[in-house]
């Protein structure tokens, strides 16, 4: 809908204001669409103590042309249920009655509400990503690889724009929900509950995964993360799948803290101590209970003790990172570290309030907290949570393009934050460093653990000069990309930019002999490395893996205008160097370049070399596959070849 007018005709000099009651008032479309939904999932609406906070109103960006489905710019909800072979009628959110009452009322029995709920939560997640990344998000493009004539190794890639992610609220009758990279879709299942917790849940009742905020946010995050870094789903390290899982949980978890009603109620209940048992630290509660577990599926801050059936906070064990390899369990180490950083930031932000409220002792008197104090604590928690959420998402742009480890992610978090908030007067970065240290997560190749040494190194002057002309030529296209009306136009412009960048890179590498060692790439024709894939001319092949402009605004209004370029290469090598005819592995390397478009300088080079003396990363990847950790994940979660088409399907299955 464009500007519309409440009008019975334009006002003109001829007719004059008194001539009639005709007038013309331009009415702009609203900024947001308000839609009712569950804050958690339907099970909390049936409990007296939580019913009052479980229904909230989501404010999602107003989409100018939103069709029935809902089908908008980013999403298409397709409500086909294969188990009963029926299409449910799609909801029309532009129906004036629905606009007037913030959408349909939450209801387990209405498929149209299910459609509305998935749309509201997915759009909320998309908006958070766009705010953090400073650009419109794009789904993972459809890539077609065509082998080049006369060359068995090199492939030519064409990428096709994917306009909408499809959402199937009733895709299967099983305890599962997952993101399908091949279908570019989120598939939500439903199932009958099996539980002996008769007081908490109706045994045999139907559980819809599409009604859980956490599950929808988690799956949408998988899709968004895949759109930013499509190589992150490759299993090259014990952290690979674990990171995808952990990151999706982190986004779901911190989105909870943006709901003020829930926050106030839980802060009142826990007397301001968010590290004690509370609803906010749990994920996918109904799903967890319904499939027979006690407590939520994954508890970020504590767990119910199997013997006592009582909730206990988790104590960090630095050994876990060395011994736990199952992707969810390993992922929960990262979730807990981020949650820990958040709680210490929250404590720091609220210490003065507690001193005021306790007459300086810091120990609050017994009894319920004053509502004003609860509100102030909730405001601080919401602010801190929002900062942590945006920090975590923003860090994605500062990650290496392949083989991400938790330690690399910590470095990305610290560097990204340093760029946007140069003075860390609240101690956010120290809180992260401390929380990761307590869980034994250390980045490789860092001499000491300080905020300064964790920051990715800035590019040297020599390197910066080499990239100056490149930055200059890319800036014009990047500037234009901000004014494109549709995401498709942006995608097409970036595709052109990728092609032009490919042509410009080779001469830059020719001019500066140091660049290969700095970027970890092997681009010059005479510099051959074992197993390196080659292009049709027999030269080293490389891929501009992604190219993304970002315009971010810091809390003080500072503007960062950047271009993020990821370049990757591949080597195809035998798994066992002594048995060259045996199984092969795909070993990837590359770098992420962060260019500052205002100063035309290369800010950071984040490198995973395709080749290095000793090839230690290659040895690690071979060991990871040989020792069976990779196979362990595959056998546990994937059935044969389906692993390659649906990498998340089994990972999310209830058991």
CB of 179 to Zn ion, least distance (A): 7
Considering the complex, state which of residue 428 and residue 637 has its C-beta at the smaller distance from Zn ion: 637
Considering the complex, state which of residue 386 and residue 653 has its C-beta at the smaller distance from Zn ion: 653
Site for Zn ion in 405-464 (CB under 5 A): none
First-to-last alpha carbon distance for the chain, in angstroms, is 46
CB of 395 to Zn ion, least distance (A): 19
Q: Is 565 helix (H, G, I), strand (E, B) or coil?
A: strand
Q: Crossing angle for the helix pair 111-133 and 371-394, nearest 10 degrees?
A: 70
Considering the complex, state which of residue 244 and residue 552 has its C-beta at the smaller distance from Zn ion: 244
Yes or no: say if 247 and 221 are a contact pair by the CB < 8 Å rule.
yes
271: DSSP letter: T
Site size toward Zn ion (CB under 5 A) is 2
Can you give the length of the chain in residues?
655
What are the Cα distances from residue 546, in Å, to 17, 229, 469? Answer: 58, 8, 20
CB of 454 to Zn ion, least distance (A): 27
Site track for Zn ion across 233-252, x = CB under 5 A: ------------x--x----
Considering the complex, state which of residue 248 and residue 275 has its C-beta at the smaller distance from Zn ion: 248
CB atoms within 10 A of CB 176: 22
CB of 606 to Zn ion, least distance (A): 25
586 has which bridge partners?
Answer: 572
Considering the complex, state which of residue 209 and residue 266 has its C-beta at the smaller distance from Zn ion: 209
- For residue 305, whether the previous peptide bond is cis, meaning omega lies within 30 degrees of 0, is no
4 has which bridge partners?
Answer: 27
Q: Longest C-alpha distance within the chain, in Å? A: 96
d(Cα 370, Cα 267) in Å, to the nearest integer? 11
> In terms of Cα–Cα distance, which of 145, 69, 160, 71 is closest to 112?
69
CB of 245 to Zn ion, least distance (A): 5
d(Cα 317, Cα 314) in Å, to the nearest integer? 9
282 has which bridge partners?
Answer: 299
Considering the complex, state which of residue 136 and residue 244 has its C-beta at the smaller distance from Zn ion: 244
Considering the complex, state which of residue 191 and residue 243 has its C-beta at the smaller distance from Zn ion: 243
CB of 463 to Zn ion, least distance (A): 38
Q: What are the tokens at 647?
A: 């990498």
CB of 590 to Zn ion, least distance (A): 25
Considering the complex, state which of residue 404 and residue 532 has its C-beta at the smaller distance from Zn ion: 404
CB of 252 to Zn ion, least distance (A): 10
Site track for Zn ion across 201-240, x = CB under 5 A: ----------------------------------------
> In terms of Cα–Cα distance, which of 213, 167, 38, 186 is closest to 108?
38
CB of 171 to Zn ion, least distance (A): 15
Considering the complex, state which of residue 79 and residue 245 has its C-beta at the smaller distance from Zn ion: 245
d(Cα 225, Cα 277) in Å, to the nearest integer? 30
The separation between CA 155 and the C-alpha centre of its own chain, rounded to angstroms, equals 29
Considering the complex, state which of residue 245 and residue 417 has its C-beta at the smaller distance from Zn ion: 245
Yes or no: say if 50 and 56 are a contact pair by the CB < 8 Å rule.
no
Considering the complex, state which of residue 244 and residue 439 has its C-beta at the smaller distance from Zn ion: 244
Site for Zn ion in 276-315 (CB under 5 A): none
d(Cα 157, Cα 141) in Å, to the nearest integer? 11
CB of 218 to Zn ion, least distance (A): 5
CB of 236 to Zn ion, least distance (A): 18
Considering the complex, state which of residue 250 and residue 418 has its C-beta at the smaller distance from Zn ion: 250
Counts for the chain of helices (H) and strands (E), in that order: 20, 21
Q: Are strands 298-299 and 282-283 parallel, antiparallel or unpaired?
A: antiparallel
In three-state form (DSSP H/G/I as H, E/B as E, the rest C), the secondary structure along 532-577 is ECECCCCCECCEEEEEEEEEEECCCCCEEEEEEEEEEEEEEEECCC
CB of 331 to Zn ion, least distance (A): 8
The separation between CA 396 and the C-alpha centre of its own chain, rounded to angstroms, equals 8
> In terms of Cα–Cα distance, which of 139, 129, 370, 150 is closest to 250?
129
Site track for Zn ion across 533-562, x = CB under 5 A: ------------------------------
Considering the complex, state which of residue 241 and residue 418 has its C-beta at the smaller distance from Zn ion: 241
Q: What are the tokens at 273?
A: 């101590």
d(Cα 526, Cα 541) in Å, to the nearest integer? 13
The separation between CA 376 and the C-alpha centre of its own chain, rounded to angstroms, equals 29
Q: Is 473 helix (H, G, I), strand (E, B) or coil?
A: helix
Considering the complex, state which of residue 190 and residue 491 has its C-beta at the smaller distance from Zn ion: 190
CB of 271 to Zn ion, least distance (A): 33
Q: Crossing angle for the helix pair 111-133 and 239-256, nearest 10 degrees?
A: 110
CB of 652 to Zn ion, least distance (A): 5
d(Cα 498, Cα 216) in Å, to the nearest integer? 33
What is the binding site for Zn ion (CB under 5 A)? 245, 248
């Amino acid at each position: 809908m464009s500007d519309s007018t409440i009008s019975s005709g334009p006002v003109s000099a001829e007719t004059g204001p008194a001539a009639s009651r005709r007038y013309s008032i331009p009415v702009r479309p609203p900024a947001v669409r308000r839609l009712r939904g569950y804050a958690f999932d339907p099970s909390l609406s049936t409990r007296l103590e939580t019913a009052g906070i479980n229904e909230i109103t989501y404010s999602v960006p107003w989409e100018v042309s939103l069709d029935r489905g809902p089908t908008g710019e980013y999403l298409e909800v397709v409500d086909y249920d294969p188990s009963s072979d029926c299409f449910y009628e799609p909801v029309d959110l532009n129906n004036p009655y629905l606009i007037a009452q913030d959408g349909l009322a939450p209801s387990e029995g209405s498929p149209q509400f299910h459609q509305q709920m998935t749309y509201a939560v997915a759009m909320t997640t998309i908006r958070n990503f766009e705010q953090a990344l400073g650009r419109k998000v794009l789904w993972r493009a459809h890539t077609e690889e065509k082998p080049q004539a006369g060359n068995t190794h090199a492939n030519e890639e064409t990428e096709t724009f994917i306009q909408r992610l499809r959402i199937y609220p009733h895709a299967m009758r099983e305890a599962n929900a997952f993101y399908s990279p091949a279908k570019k879709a989120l598939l939500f299942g439903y199932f009958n509950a099996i539980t002996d917790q008769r007081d908490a849940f109706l045994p045999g009742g139907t559980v819809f995964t599409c009604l859980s905020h956490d599950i929808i946010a988690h799956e949408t995050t998988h899709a968004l993360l895949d759109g930013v870094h499509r190589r992150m789903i490759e299993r090259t390290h014990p952290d690979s799948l674990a990171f995808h899982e952990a990151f999706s949980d982190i986004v779901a978890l911190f989105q909870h803290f943006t709901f003020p009603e829930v926050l106030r109620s839980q802060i009142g209940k826990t007397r301001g101590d968010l590290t004690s048992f509370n609803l906010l630290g749990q994920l996918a509660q109904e799903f967890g209970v319904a499939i027979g577990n006690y407590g939520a599926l994954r508890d970020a801050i504590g767990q119910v003790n199997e013997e006592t059936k009582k909730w206990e906070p988790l104590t960090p064990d630095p050994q876990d990172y060395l011994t736990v390899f199952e992707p969810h369990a390993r992922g929960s180490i990262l979730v807990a570290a981020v949650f820990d950083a958040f709680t210490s930031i929250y404590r720091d932000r609220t210490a003065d309030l507690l001193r005021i409220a306790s007459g300086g002792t810091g120990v609050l008197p017994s009894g319920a907290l004053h509502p004003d104090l609860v509100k102030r604590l909730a405001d601080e928690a919401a602010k801190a949570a929002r900062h942590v959420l945006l920090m975590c998402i923003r860090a994605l742009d500062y990650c290496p393009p392949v083989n991400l480890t938790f330690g690399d992610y910590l470095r990305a978090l610290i560097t990204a934050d340093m760029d946007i908030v140069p003075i860390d007067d609240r101690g956010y970065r120290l809180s992260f460093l401390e929380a990761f240290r307590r869980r034994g997560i250390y980045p490789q190749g860092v001499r000491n653990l300080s905020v300064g040494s964790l920051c990715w190194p800035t590019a040297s002057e020599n390197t910066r000069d080499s990239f100056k002309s490149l930055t200059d030529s890319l800036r014009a296209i990047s500037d234009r990309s901000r004014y494109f009306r549709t995401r498709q136009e942006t995608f097409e412009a970036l595709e052109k930019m990728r092609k032009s960048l490919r042509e410009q890179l080779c001469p830059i590498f020719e001019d500066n002999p140091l660049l290969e060692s700095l970027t970890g790439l092997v681009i010059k024709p005479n510099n051959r490395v074992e197993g390196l894939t080659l292009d049709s001319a027999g030269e080293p092949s490389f891929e501009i893996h992604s190219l993304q402009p970002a315009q971010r605004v810091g809390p003080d209004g500072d503007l960062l205008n950047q271009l993020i370029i990821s370049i990757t290469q591949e080597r195809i090598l035998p798994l066992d160097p002594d048995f060259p005819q045996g199984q092969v592995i795909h070993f990837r390397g590359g770098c992420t370049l962060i260019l500052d478009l205002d100063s035309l300088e290369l800010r950071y080079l984040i490198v995973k070399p395709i080749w290095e003396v000793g090839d230690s990363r290659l040895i690690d990847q071979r060991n990871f596959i040989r020792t069976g950790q990779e196979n362990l994940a595959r056998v546990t979660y994937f059935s044969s070849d389906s692993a390659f088409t649906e990498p998340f399907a089994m990972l999310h299955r209830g058991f």
